[in-house]
């Protein structure tokens, strides 16, 4: 009887630990152009991610490890180089906005890479043994 009680209590404690260690915000970051296509808006961000960006003094895209925006080469471009964009990052209560120094070019594709809301694993991955050795960024291609 005591052995059964100990086993059940250990199972309940282990389950509670796994549930409490899981991320509260399992949704991916939403990345899109603003309504007037002059900036890129990041929404659905975990509050810790917004706080991390907000506490970085003088943050801009050239020094940010969390957000990068690059213009992809056109199909007829023979150099085939991604051109990183310089810009400012604005933080509000629930969103982060990337404002480029030069306006976005109509008809161009832009690669946006962010580590916001990125994690090594969640409880499901932990239970199945599918842990990643590195954090995978969220990558989105936006067409202007």
Question: Considering only the top CATH level, what class is 27-143?
Answer: mainly beta
Phi and psi angles of residue 136, each rounded to the nearest 5 degrees, phi first: -100, 125
| The pLDDT of residue 100 | 92
Task: Give the tens place of pLDDT for each residue, 21-76.
Answer: 444 445 788 999 999 999 999 999 888 878 877 777 666 655 567 788 999 887 77
Q: Where are the domains of the chain?
A: 27-143
Q: Which residues pair with 106 in a beta bridge?
A: none
| 40-43 vs 96-100, strand pairing mode | antiparallel
Phi and psi angles of residue 24, each rounded to the nearest 5 degrees, phi first: -75, -25
Task: Give the tens place of pLDDT for each residue, 104-133.
Answer: 999 899 999 988 887 665 666 666 766 666
| The pLDDT of residue 111 | 93
Report the Cα–Cα distance between both ends of the chain, in Å, rounded. Answer: 67
């Amino acid at each position: 009887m005591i052995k059964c009680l100990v086993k059940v209590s250990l199972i309940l404690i282990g389950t509670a630990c796994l549930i409490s260690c899981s991320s509260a915000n399992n949704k991916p970051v939403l990345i899109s152009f603003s309504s007037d296509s002059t900036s890129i808006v990041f929404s659905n961000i975990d509050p810790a991610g917004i706080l991390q960006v907000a506490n970085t003094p003088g943050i801009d895209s050239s020094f940010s490890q969390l957000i990068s925006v690059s213009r992809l080469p056109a199909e007829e471009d023979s150099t085939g180089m991604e051109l990183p964009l310089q810009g400012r990052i604005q933080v509000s209560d629930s969103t982060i906005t990337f404002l480029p120094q030069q306006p976005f070019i109509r008809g161009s594709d832009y690669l946006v890479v962010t580590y916001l809301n990125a994690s090594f694993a969640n409880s499901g991955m932990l239970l199945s043994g599918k842990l990643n050795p590195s954090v995978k960024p969220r990558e989105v291609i936006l067409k202007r």
